[in-house]
Amino acid sequence: MCPALDANGCCQIYESRPLICRSHGVPLRYRHPVPLIHPSRINVCEKNFTEVSTKSLPIDDVLDQTSLTAELAEIEASHCDEHELPLGERVPLAHILAESV
């Protein structure tokens, strides 16, 4: 069970939840560095895709992990520049939970 859920099962950090929570269950495309030898693959939560083949999903319905990572890196760099923070610093989930109480 997620440590961010309260006794009623509601997320205590919903507004600032991490990306993994925001994208849970969304089909993700992973590209291999050598695409001609290893084609990209789509990972999904099998509980969400019991009746639909990932091969039939429209391309716009699949989140591309490589593009997402690049976009998030730009957002992080902009945020760190704006707030004079070191790039790549991580905030433990316990700190977010402590601030939300």
Q: What is the pLDDT along the chain (101 residues), one digit of tens a residue?
A: 688 888 998 888 888 887 778 777 788 888 877 777 777 888 887 777 788 888 888 888 888 888 888 998 998 899 889 988 899 887 777 777 777 65
Task: Please state, in angstroms and rounded to a whole number, the distance separating the CA atoms of residues 72 and 68.
Answer: 6
Q: Kindly report whether the global pTM for this prediction surpasses the value 0.75.
A: no
Q: Which helix (H) or strand (E) holds 42?
A: strand 41-43
Instruction: Flag whether 52 is in a domain.
Output: yes
Query: What's the token pair of residue 6?
Result: 């309260």
The range of the structural domain enclosing residue 47 comes to: 14-100
Q: How many domains does the chain have?
A: 1
Instruction: Flag whether 8 is in a domain.
Output: no
Instruction: Flag whether 2 is in a domain.
Output: no
| Confidence at residue 100, expressed as pLDDT on a 0 to 100 scale | 62
Q: What is the DSSP letter of 50?
A: S
Output the CA torsion sign for 46, 49, 51, 55. Answer: negative
Instruction: Flag whether 24 is in a domain.
Output: yes
Task: Please state, in angstroms and rounded to a whole number, the distance separating the CA atoms of residues 41 and 71.
Answer: 20
Instruction: Flag whether 23 is in a domain.
Output: yes
Instruction: Flag whether 40 is in a domain.
Output: yes
Instruction: Flag whether 49 is in a domain.
Output: yes
